[in-house]
Structure 1
Amino acid sequence: MTKAKVTGPDLSNLNLNPGAVYYQLSPAELIEAALKRNEGTLADSGALAIDTGTFTGRSPKDRFIVSDDLTRDLVWWSDINIAFDGEKADRLFARLIDYLENKTVFVRDAFACADAQFRLGIRVITETAYQNLFAYNMFLRPEDNESIKPEWTIVAAPGFMADPERDGTRQSNFSIIDFTKKRIMIGGTGYTGEIKKGVFSVLNFLLPVEKNILSMHCSANTGQNGDTALFFGLSGTGKTTLSADADRALIGDDEHGWSEHGVFNFEGGCYAKCINLSAENEPQIFGAIRFGSLLENINYFPGTRQVDYTNIEKTENTRVAYPIHYINNAAMPSVAPLPKHIFFLTADAFGVLPPISKLDAGQAMFHFISGYTAKVAGTEAGILEPQATFSACYGKAFLPLHPVTYAKLLGEKMEAQGVSAWLINTGWSGGPYGTGSRMKLAYTRAMIRAVMQGALEDVGFDVHPVFGLRMPVSCPGVPPELLNPVMTWQDAGAYEQKAHELAEAFIANFKQFEDVAGADLAKVMQAPAAERAS
């Protein structure tokens, strides 16, 4: 392993004096380093498999934002944006740098934002080789001889533990964003998602405030005619599956920006869940797991290096990170024209939402800020029946600004650019979970295909009596009786009761946004559900 392929960076601005600096190593060199340092093993696919240690997912209660003159009046201080004192952050950062004194570090300069107009240079300094491989895969890689001027610095050291009493953290692990000093420090956790979502949180602050760009937690694809589509949805709703289409180019699977002239990926790679992964169900993801990919917290079949994707002994959050060009039909560069269609995906376990509904701008803002899906029995300890869950803008945990900021931007861009919005229920029909049945993927794909091909432009629509949603009366490839959910229930009275319960849950959730939205906007956003739920 060579120390550097090019001249290493000057780290003196951080007061960092490491023992060795490995700069811009290739995936092969990073994998070699990881194996020599016993950070992981090679799976039979060629992918590097590692364990992230104690933390196999993000730790939201240990994510902080430095409160100062820049952030004090802009950040949505809440249970997901926890204020951290600037002086304490400086002292903790100095201790983190001292910890890395004379140690080996891996340094990578990269970009975020595929649209060159909005590129952000980032420098990722990691204690482990596998974290640097993750940064190579996830962020945008410079072309040969392309220079980068890093604006932001991320320092990630799993081996450094904070002292809560001394440092002001909640426990020994932490992720702290300092918008004024443009740095993210991560310690006490080897989970790479903290790096990814730290940068996402930065962009969710900078782009709306400075560029009037809507930052989005969504997947995106585009057709040959430039008809870009956005897919929003929480885990288990089909965001990755439905955006993966052999006939359409993938822009990205997770993080995007919507500017005045198009859509662009924030990242240069994908970070996909592996639980129950198979070549039959997710051929693109399965095929992307090869040399250069990074598998996290998986298990092998005993006595082999073959991954058992059904094994969740370590965690259900098994993951793989790979560069986006490992997907055959990925768009390169990851930019696309303005969106034509938006799909909000929900897996309604109560079985009352229509499988497809057309939304006006007010309804789109309402469902966007609601970010609804439902957990089913068995997904978490203690859940015995369907449970409504809401995550503002389908990514509450990563929103430094108030959700109304993003919802207003969505509505403005939809109106200005003539974008259609659709609510897609990939959940249950004919009754709730346990009674009804899950909507067939083939039907959902047919609905989305019909929207994209314009096949629903001339059909009639019925208005849902509870939710005020417009339901198409016909759709190619879908049995008409499925399009109005009450028709699939044996007991219309039971359906109506359950629909009212869900409408009231929507309204109760929205109350937290009313004051910031203001009376006029709040009325526009929640009127359809509010008028029908009483």
Structure 2
Amino acid sequence: MNSVHIPNELKLLLQESQVQVQLSVPQLVEKVLERKEGTLTSTGAVCVTTGKYTGRSPQDKFIVLEESTKNKIAWGTTNQPISEEIFTGLYHKVLDYLRRKDEFFVFKGFAGADKKSRLPIQVINEMAWHNLFAEQLFIRPTEEELLTHEAGFTVISAPNFKADPVIDGTNSETFIIISFEQRIVLIGGTEYAGEMKKSIFSVMNFLLPENHIFSMHCSANVGLEGDVALFFGLSGTGKTTLSADPTRRLIGDDEHGWSSNGVFNIEGGCYAKCINLSREKEPQIFDAIRFGTVLENVILNLESRIPDYDDGTLTENTRAAYPMEAIDNIVQPSIAGHPNTIVFLTADAFGVLPPIAKLTKEQAMYHFLSGYTSKLAGTERGVTSPEATFSTCFGAPFLPLPATRYAEMLGEKILEHNANVFLVNTGWTGGEYGIGNRMKLSYTRAMVQAALEGELNHVETVTDNIFGLNIPIHVAGVPDEVLQPSKTWPDSQAYEKKAKELAAKFRENFKKFSSVAADIEGKGGPIA
């Protein structure tokens, strides 16, 4: 992707004497400790807290309404418009604010491992630990690449600069604003570092499709024979667990592009959840937390500085940011061929979706647009029974373009590369949440393994009479009766009632696409 002209005000800021450009990881760790921004842990990681905000602030995220983008963005509650005047006012205020600091930090790197389509970026930070985060999460340049690096997009993050909504035109003290014409992401009023990562992902979700590249919120790995698999799924569906396969090498765990050359990681690191983390459950993540890693909102033992990953006092959304190289079994560089297998993961708490089903192209597009999983009782205040949750394309908060644009690209890629798509339910069987049981991980692993090895491409299937899904009648290592949900429920009428209830929720959610995706709904949605 071509770089663009950097605004003069920004050039002047980067010429200030207090700017610290491209510090090494050890230098940044020293700065974090010197500035008392964080604490060194027993593993050598840096532990920080993010204050008031321990997660993203979607209500404070905006895209500037500009001539070149006004007819392209899917405007709404996710992509809120903001005027050029408001952006410009805040932009100048933030630059003036940084100019008055004793020091600030700049990282230069890339988004996108494929050199033909990567985006040169620079990240300007008020805080040293935020710059360390950028160093770990984005793709680091070689010394040679740094000599010719020109930023095509700039992130400016000033967490301690707080907006005044009355004067500045924001919704609160916090703002995350993307200007596609100025090629700037402006962040203020929040210390949560994930805003930087996800803002650049949102940028790539706009730029990549414009270059005929399918951008995806998924993990990806590759087998010994070079076969590539993609795993889509919302939180709690098992995406991290199932994609971290010791027999396969990790391409990336969260953000990818699919070009005419194949799949590539958008990032250079991982931003892993670490609540209840243990070496036994997730050894790769556990062992990656070492010198240079940034731990967010994890509670430490004050004397030993040993992290207590089970303590969610500050938030359940505790995180670890580390480079891809901290994991042993990875692809370097993070690029691979075209996917053979695509897996959509859902944790159905209604207990009615099959544990695995092979999808047609239209069904794949339908379930991709739906992005279904369940919220469980107790996970959020007021949630007393399982609730159906739909996140378009398994990444609704980060999609600037109309959702059907991404679904159409998925359909084209499936056809072009003959990819096999499977819906895998890691949720409940034998009844809904509270009555049935969670699907055994050993069964799910066996089904996913069979899908990856091509064993389910031509097997005999039975069609589910409510969702129209093609269910294999046999998968090695899984009892046959487990494969068909209706046979696992003790009361068949109760099953049918609950299944039709969920099917109705799918239909209600899909109404927002009906006018532009009627064919997908007709061929890919529930049949009863």
Asked whether the 8 Å contact 1:18–1:102 carries over to 2, the reply is: no
CA distance in 1, matches of 2:343, 2:480: 20
SS in 2 for 1:49: strand
| 2:515 corresponds to 1:524 | no
Question: Is 2:242 the partner of 1:264?
Answer: no
Matched-pair contact (CA < 8 Å) for 2:514–2:521: no
- Partner secondary structure for residue 110 of structure 1: strand
Question: Counterpart of 2:161?
Answer: 160
Pairwise CA distance, 1:328 = 0.6
Deviates more, 1:51-60 or 1:456-465: 456-465
Name segments (4+ residues, structure 1) moved above 6 Å: none
For 1:404-443, list aligned pairs within 5 A.
Answer: 404-443=404-443
Deviation at 1:254, TM superposition (A): 0.2
- State the 1:10 CA deviation: 11
Contact kept? 1:466, 1:529, Cα under 8 Å: no
Q: Please tell me whether the aligned partners of residues 155 and 196 of structure 2 are also in contact (alpha carbons under 8 angstroms).
A: yes
Q: Tell me, what secondary structure is at the counterpart of 1:373? A: strand
Aligned to 2:476: 476
User: Does the aligned pair in 1 maintain the 2:157–2:188 contact within 8 Å?
Assistant: yes
Deviations 1:388-428 (A, max 9, x none): 00000000000000111100110111011101100000001
Q: What SS is found at the alignment partner of 2:496? A: helix
Q: In 1, Cα distance between the equivalents of 2:237 and 2:63?
A: 30
Residues 347 and 428, structure 1, Cα contact 8 Å, conserved in 2: yes
CA contact (8 A) 2:122 2:154 kept: yes
1:131-185 Cα deviation digits (max 9, x unpaired): 0000000000011322311111110011101111111100111100000000001
Q: Does 1:351 align with 2:347?
A: no
Q: Which amino acid aligns with 1:420?
A: N
Q: Which residue number corresponds to residue 145 of structure 2?
A: 146
SS at match of 1:116: coil
**Contact 2:110 / 2:141 at 8 angstroms: preserved in 1?**
yes
User: SS of the residue aligned with 1:96?
Assistant: helix
Alpha-carbon distance in structure 1 between the residues aligned to 2:52 and 2:519: 46
Map 1:232-311 → 2, pairs under 5 A = 232-301=232-301, 303-311=303-311
TM-fit CA distance, 1:12: 5.3
- Counterpart in the other structure of 1:6: none
C-alpha distance in 2, partners of 1:15/1:369? 44
Secondary structure at 1:73's aligned position in 2?
coil
Count of residues in correspondence between the two structures: 519
**Partners of 1:35 and 1:365 in 2: CA distance:** 48
- Structure 1 distance, partners of 2:413, 2:521, is 15
Query: CA 1:526/1:52 → structure 2, altered by over 3 Å: closer, same or farther?
Result: farther
Distance in 1 (CA, whole Å) between partners of 2:458 and 2:362 is 22
* Correspondent of 1:40 among 34, 38, 41: 38
**Residue identity in the other structure for 1:415:** L
> In 2, Cα distance between the equivalents of 1:370 and 1:529?
10
Name structure 2 gaps, 5 residues minimum: 1-5
1:531 is paired with a residue of what secondary structure? coil
Equivalent AA in structure 2 for residue 92 of structure 1: L
Residue number in structure 2 paired with 1:206: 207
Distance 2:443 2:137 in 1: 33
Task: Say if 2:356 is the partner of 1:374.
Answer: no
Check conservation: 2:366, 2:525, Cα contact below 8 A: no
Preserved contact between residue 278 and residue 286 of structure 1 (Cα < 8 Å): yes
> Could you say what secondary structure the match of 1:74 adopts?
coil
Instruction: Assess, with a 3 A threshold, how the Cα gap between structure 1 residues 410 and 458 changes in structure 2: closer, same or farther.
Output: closer
2:485 and 2:7 mapped to 1: Cα distance?
62
- CA gap 1:14/1:268 in 2 versus in 1, 3 angstroms: same
Root-mean-square deviation (CA, aligned residues, Å) is 1.4
Note if 1:93 corresponds to 2:91: yes
Separation (CA, whole Å) in 2 of partners of 1:65 and 1:458: 46
Which stretch shifts more, 134-143 or 19-28?
19-28
1:467 is aligned with what amino acid? F
* Contact 1:46 1:290 (8 Å CA) reproduced: yes
**SS of equivalent residue, structure 1 residue 117:** coil
Who is 2:338 aligned against? Answer: 338
Question: How far has the Cα of 1:529 moved from its partner?
Answer: 3.2
State the Cα distance separating 1:303 from its structure 2 match. Answer: 3.8
Q: Distance in 1 between matches of 2:190 and 2:141?
A: 28
Aligned partner of 1:327 in structure 2 is 327
Question: What is the one-letter code of the residue matched to 1:256?
Answer: H
Instruction: Output the CA distance in 1 between the equivalents of 2:100 and 2:504.
Output: 59
Deviation at 1:463, TM superposition (A): 0.2
Report the equivalent of 1:130: 129
Distance 1:467 1:10, change over 3 A: closer
Contact 2:468 2:526 in 1 (8 A): no
Displacement of 1:481 in angstroms is 1.1
CA distance in 1, matches of 2:428, 2:301: 34
Q: Quote how far apart the aligned CAs of 1:304 are.
A: 3.0
Q: Which residue of 1 aligns with 2:3?
A: none
Write the distance in 1 (CA, Å) between the matches of 2:473 and 2:198.
Answer: 41
Residue type at the aligned position of 2:521 = M
Q: 1:124·1:155 contact (CA, 8 Å) conserved in 2?
A: yes
Separation of aligned partners in 2, 1:457 and 1:361: 14
What is the identity, as a one-letter code, of the residue corresponding to 2:457? Answer: E
Which whole-Å deviations, capped at 9, do the CAs of 1:221-245 have from their partners, x for residues lacking one? Answer: 0112111000000000011111101
Displacement of 1:81: 0.4
- Counterparts of 1:439-454 in structure 2 under 5 Å? 439-454=439-454
Tell me how far apart the structure 1 counterparts of residues 8 and 242 of structure 2 sit (CA, whole Å): 43
Percent sequence identity is 52
User: For the Cα contact (< 8 Å) 1:228–1:336, is it kept in 2?
Assistant: yes
In structure 1, give the amino acid aligned to 2:385.
Answer: E
Q: CA deviation at 1:523?
A: 2.4
Farther-moved stretch of structure 1 (452-461 vs 117-126):
452-461
User: Alpha-carbon deviations, 1:318-338, whole Å to 9, x = none?
Assistant: 000000011110111000100
Q: Which is worse superposed, 440-449 or 250-259?
A: 440-449
Counterpart-to-counterpart distance in 2, 1:302 and 1:387 = 39
Displacement of 1:313 after TM fit?
0.9
Counterparts of residues 63-142 of structure 1 (less than 5 Å): 63-103=61-101, 104-142=103-141
